[in-house]
Chain A
Amino acid sequence: MSVNDSKRRKRFKKNSPLILKYIILIVAAIFILFPIVMIIFGALKTRGEFMTIPYIPPIPPRWGNIKTVLSMPIFWYMLRNSVLVMIATTAGVVITASLSAFVFSRIKFRGQNLLFNFFTLGLMFPITVAILPIYLVIRQLGLTNNLIGVILVQIAFQLSISIVILRNFFMAVPFELQDAASIDGCSTLGFFWCILLPLARPSLAAVAALTVVTSWNDLLVPLVLIDKEKLWTLPLGTMQFQGQYGMDLSLVAAFLLLSAIPALIFYLLAERQLVSGLTAGALKG
Chain B
Amino acid sequence: MSKKTSDKVVRILPQTNNSTWQLQENMTIMLFLLPAFIFLSIFLVYPIFRSAYFSLFNWKGLGPAVDYIGLENFRRLIADQIFLKAVRNGILIVVFSLLIQLPLAMGLALIVGRNIPGRAFFRAIFFMPYVLSEVITAVMWLILYNPNPSRGFLNAIINIIPFLEPQAWLADTSLVLPAIFVVLTWKYIGFHMLLYITGLQNIPREIEEAALIDGVNSHQMVTHITIPLLAGTIKTSVYLSIIGSLQVYALVWIMTRGGPVNASEVMSTYLYRYSFVRFELGYGSAVAIVMLLISLTFSIIYLRLTRKAEYLA
Contact = CB atoms under 8 A, between A and B. Distances in A.
A137 B46 contact: yes
Interface string A4-40: 0111011111111010010011001101110110110
B58 interface: no
* Complex A-B, nearest 8 residue pairs according to Cβ-Cβ distance, in ascending order: A14-B218, A133-B47, A217-B133, A156-B43, A133-B51, A9-B107, A6-B103, A126-B247
Contact of A152 (B39, B107, B153): B39
A260 interface: yes
Nearest to A10: B222
Contact of A134 (B13, B43, B128): B43
Interface in A264-284: 264, 266-267, 271, 274-275, 278-279, 282-284
Interface string A51-71: 111110000000000000000
A165 to B, nearest CB: 12
B124 A271 contact: yes
Given A126-B243, A159-B39, A189-B28, A194 B116 contact: no
Contact of B111 (A21, A39, A97, A188): A21
Interface in B138-162: 139-144, 146, 150-153, 156-157
A54 B150 contact: yes
B226 to A, nearest CB: 8
Nearest to B11: A185
B54 interface: yes
Contacts, number: 314
Interface in A107-159: 107, 109, 115, 118-119, 121-137, 152-153, 155-157, 159
A142 to B, nearest CB: 14
B190 interface: yes
B92 interface: no
Interface of A: 1-3, 5-7, 9-16, 18, 21, 24-25, 28-29, 31-33, 35-36, 38-39, 42, 50-55, 95-97, 99-100, 102-103, 107, 109, 115, 118-119, 121-137, 152-153, 155-157, 159-160, 163, 181-190, 194, 213, 216-220, 224, 234-236, 238-239, 242, 249, 252-253, 256, 259-260, 263-264, 266-267, 271, 274-275, 278-279, 282-284
A219 B107 contact: no
A279 B121 CA distance: 19
Contacts of A16: 218
A152 B249 CA distance: 21
Contacts of B122: 25, 28-29
Query: Which secondary structure dominates chain A's binding surface?
Result: helix
Contacts of A129: 246-247, 268, 271, 288, 291-292, 295
B249 A220 contact: yes
Nearest to B287: A132
A282 B236 contact: yes
Given A10-B106, A224-B276, A263-B131, 11 more contacts: A2-B100, A14-B218, A103-B29, A133-B47, A137-B43, A185-B9, A188-B28, A217-B134, A235-B135, A283-B236, A284-B313
B133 A125 contact: no
A163 B37 CA distance: 12
Nearest to A136: B50
Interface stretch (B71-79, B80-88, B163-171, B192-200): B192-200
Interface in B209-263: 217-219, 221-223, 227, 232-233, 236, 240, 243-244, 246-247, 249-250, 254
Contacts of B46: 137
